[in-house]
Structure 1
Amino acid sequence: MADQTEFLISRSHPWAYDAAYAVALSLNATEDKLQNVNKSLAMFNYNDSLTLEYMRSSIEDVSFNGVSGPVSFTNDGGRVGIAYIEYNHRRPAPRDRFIYVEIYEPYDVTAVYCVLFSNTIGVIIAFVFLAFNTIYRNNRHIKMSSPYINNVIILGGLVMFVAVYVNTMDYARFGSKHFDENICMVKLWLSLLGFTLAFGALFSKTWRVHILFRETSLKKKCIKDYQLIGMLLALTLVDLCILGPWTIFHPLHKEEIKIKSEADSDSDNVVTFIYTACKHRYDIYWYASEYIYKGLLLVFGVFLAWETRMVSIPALNDSKLIGFCVYNIVVVCAFGVPVAHVLSIQQTTLMFVLTSVFTIFCTTLVLCILFIPKLKLRNEIGDIRFVKSLQTGNCSGSFDPSQDSNLKRPPLTAREPVTVNRPVGLIESKTFAEVCKELAVLKQELLEEENAVNQLKVELSRKTNNQINFHKVDGRYTVFKQSEQNEADM
């Protein structure tokens, strides 16, 4: 009969059948008890406490052999039946409760090794550039690019690399408990001060070029390295004014966030992972102040790079390179900063890898962009000239060609004729600043030529015993020889 029915039969059907049969028996017994007091189930309502008491006592008296086995109930409503205990000798007996375990989130060893290796490569590159900048500091091309400021840029890059090492120690939970309590603010100080040192020094160099070539006054301007260092100290002071109160009043502390996982069916263990994060209830306001300050610093750098884009003296000006560096930094920051705040606490490894890679990539890229061209310039021996300038400028910068021994030409012994490649009378349209620069260069060349002519005149007179000499008459040099008669008269 069961095979011919259209309904499906499950393993729970016997219990359902026995439950319905038990309810029917208890209701029949309740009806008999109610008739003794002249009442029936048809008169039942939810305020009838007597009927409820008869139903409860009737269900406790139910006892029969059902489909699922013997059926009876205890005073608290639990079923009394046959229990089977099965023991498997191959496996331990199951536990009667869960075991709760708390562990810190395990770190990714591969990610740690990759970050440490990449960061070490960046440190080596920074030290190579530092050694090059120190050894060739007297080279005229390197000297004109302010080697001391270049060292500050490299120092800022090294501080950024140290910040990556500290971040790795925090992620892998290396170090003592005391260090672990202060590591949040240590990472913050290193990252922010390293950024200001590296890019603040870079922008200060471009600011000097901007001042020298944008001034319309004929008064000579001279901006020394100590003035640039003073500007850099002012930028660093702004950081200190933010980081100091932040550290004193609302320092970041590590907070433990516990997230419970599902129970393991094999071991009956409930694992709770502990994640750590540097937080404070007011940290958003301090972060906003730093982001605004660094954003303004980047905007200032972009402005200086744009204003000095026409100055093409690679040894003196890094404006084009700064523009490229700022472009990369802005793109990376625009992507990296939101990601660092959007990622959840459970994505600690991804956050560690992204922040470390962004820092290493930006710092190493900036150092390579700035110093690799200088490696090529160190062996160039050609004259340093202003081949192109801004639309406005002053006639003299922070240096005078006649006062710099490295910029003086050797004494001239002969001069080739000047060839004019354009029709006479056709004058190119030039600004006042460009004319001033050309006049300064021509004046220097005329002075060098006059010195060479005088030296030639002295040598010629000495070697010919004053027999042959020359003078400039009506714009032409005339060579003459004294006669023996004139010598006798003298």
Structure 2
Amino acid sequence: VSLKRFGYLDRDSNFALVYETGESDKTLYPDGFPPDGTPMIVVQGPHKALVVVYYILAVCGIIGSIIFLILNFLYRNTKVICLTTPLLSYIITSGALLMYLSVFLGLLPSTKKAVIRMQCNIHVWLYGVGYLLVYGTLLAKMWRVYQIFHNPNSNKTILKTWHLMCVVFSVTGVGVLLILARSVAQALTDPDLVTNKENPEGATGSDIQKFNKVWQCYGSGSAPFYLDLVIFVYLGLLQVVGIILAFQTRKVKIPILNDSKSVTALIYISSIVLVVIVLISFILNEYVNVRAVMFYGGIILLATIFLALIFIPKVISLHRDPAGNEIFSDIDDPSKRAEKCEIKGNHNNIAVGLAELTDSEMVPSG
């Protein structure tokens, strides 16, 4: 350690500090005066480089969502797109957009309690509602395929567009009520300032004790804590429903209609990510950078995989077979192959064999 002489204590002047030439209070103490020994509390947030990287990824995701939304709109009259219901695709892209936007708000740099309270509320709405919209839409798509191809009842139920939308909004509505209750509880709960366990303490240049702190939305045992548990249990039940529908429709031979493989992959991946988010929310909240990497990385990963597994196969099919002539080539019985897929008003009509199967209705042939 290199030592530097800055002065001496003058015995003849009652041990007063006498500075060497060029030294003074300003050169010895950063603030210009000796410290009083009071510890310094520093409120920290995620590393700036991490925030920049995630902002870039979120921007790329938003751009991708908009591109898929535009393509879905421009080619909505083609067989490839209309078979999979453009309206549901719009909801999926909208949900993914909300999830990407939650990353921006959640990583917004701030050390003020009022701003942190706002972030704790709004970013939960963004990623929560976004996820519910996407996953609820996937369940509606799977339910539609199940009703068309696997329903053992010979008297087919009339399946209208609003039936599918009811599935989406029912799944989302229950989640919204839970998030609303959580938001009310959060508004009545002050964020906690806790020790940053990644870098709990240190010292300044003046040897002042420094304690590094981070904000967390709530403390263990608070009302928002238990409501978050309820929300995650609800999401877990949705995963189970998705697995059941995916299993029941796994043998459908029309790839562009059968989302079971994609949904199964999404279920497995989203289940893993949800477990990580649960661990982060309840165990690793005091590790500011670890939490940012895993929590917001999980949201970006989920939104990206949702878009990729749902829309990239459509884009590939649209490129290889714009007219949709090969969609039903895997069906051996020609009478069960689609004869048309066209837009009538706001409804997508799909004629399969003797029955008219539509996004708005499934009418048995007479």
- TM-score by length of structure 1 reads 0.58
1:121 equivalent in alignment to 2:46 = no
1:277 equivalent in alignment to 2:216 = yes
For residue 241 of structure 1, report the CA deviation from its aligned partner.
2.3
The SS at the match of 2:152 is: coil
Distance in 2 between residues matched to 1:406 and 1:240, nearest whole Å: 35
Which of 323, 328, 331 matches 1:385? 328
Map residues 63-462 of structure 1 onto 2, 5 A cutoff: 87=18, 89=20, 92=24, 95=34, 97-105=36-44, 107-169=46-108, 172-173=109-110, 179-251=115-187, 252-257=189-194, 261-264=201-204, 266-279=205-218, 281-343=222-284, 345=286, 347-379=287-319, 380=321, 381=323, 382-385=325-328, 387=330, 401=338, 404=340, 440=354
Pair 1:99–1:150, CA change in 2 (3 A): same
Distance in 1 between residues matched to 2:74 and 2:128, nearest whole Å: 29
Query: Partner amino acid for 1:324?
Result: A
Distance in 1 between residues matched to 2:143 and 2:239, nearest whole Å: 13
Pair 1:386–1:220, CA change in 2 (3 A): farther
Question: Which string of whole-angstrom CA distances, capped at 9 and with x for unpartnered residues, describes residues 438-471 of structure 1?
Answer: x859xxxxxxxxxxxxxxxxxxxxxxxxxxxxxx
For residue 335 of structure 1, report the CA deviation from its aligned partner.
3.2
Q: Contact between 1:157 and 1:363, CA under 8 Å: does it hold in 2? A: yes
Distance in 2 between residues matched to 1:348 and 1:162, nearest whole Å: 20
Pair 1:271–1:292, CA change in 2 (3 A): same
Q: Contact between 1:145 and 1:317, CA under 8 Å: does it hold in 2? A: no
The SS at the match of 1:316 is: coil
For residue 284 of structure 1, report the CA deviation from its aligned partner.
2.6
For residue 233 of structure 1, report the CA deviation from its aligned partner.
1.0
Q: Contact between 1:104 and 1:273, CA under 8 Å: does it hold in 2? A: yes
The SS at the match of 1:198 is: helix
For residue 180 of structure 1, report the CA deviation from its aligned partner.
4.0
- TM-score by length of structure 2 reads 0.76
For residue 283 of structure 1, report the CA deviation from its aligned partner.
2.4
Distance in 1 between residues matched to 2:313 and 2:192, nearest whole Å: 46
For residue 376 of structure 1, report the CA deviation from its aligned partner.
1.8
**Identity percentage of aligned residues:** 22
Structure 2 gap ranges (5+): 1-13, 29-33, 344-351, 356-366
Distance in 1 between residues matched to 2:128 and 2:73, nearest whole Å: 26
Q: Contact between 1:312 and 1:386, CA under 8 Å: does it hold in 2? A: no
Q: Contact between 1:164 and 1:356, CA under 8 Å: does it hold in 2? A: yes
- Alignment root-mean-square deviation, CA: 3.1
For residue 192 of structure 1, report the CA deviation from its aligned partner.
1.3
For residue 405 of structure 1, report the CA deviation from its aligned partner.
6.3
The SS at the match of 1:273 is: strand
Structure 1 gap ranges (5+): 1-82, 390-394, 408-436, 442-490
Pair 1:406–1:163, CA change in 2 (3 A): closer
For residue 359 of structure 1, report the CA deviation from its aligned partner.
0.9
Distance in 2 between residues matched to 1:255 and 1:166, nearest whole Å: 19
Query: Partner amino acid for 1:332?
Result: V
Query: Partner amino acid for 1:158?
Result: L
Larger relative contact order (CA 8 Å, sep ≥ 6): 2
Pair 1:249–1:263, CA change in 2 (3 A): closer
Q: Contact between 1:255 and 1:279, CA under 8 Å: does it hold in 2? A: yes
Pair 1:168–1:263, CA change in 2 (3 A): closer
Q: Contact between 2:79 and 2:341, CA under 8 Å: does it hold in 1? A: no
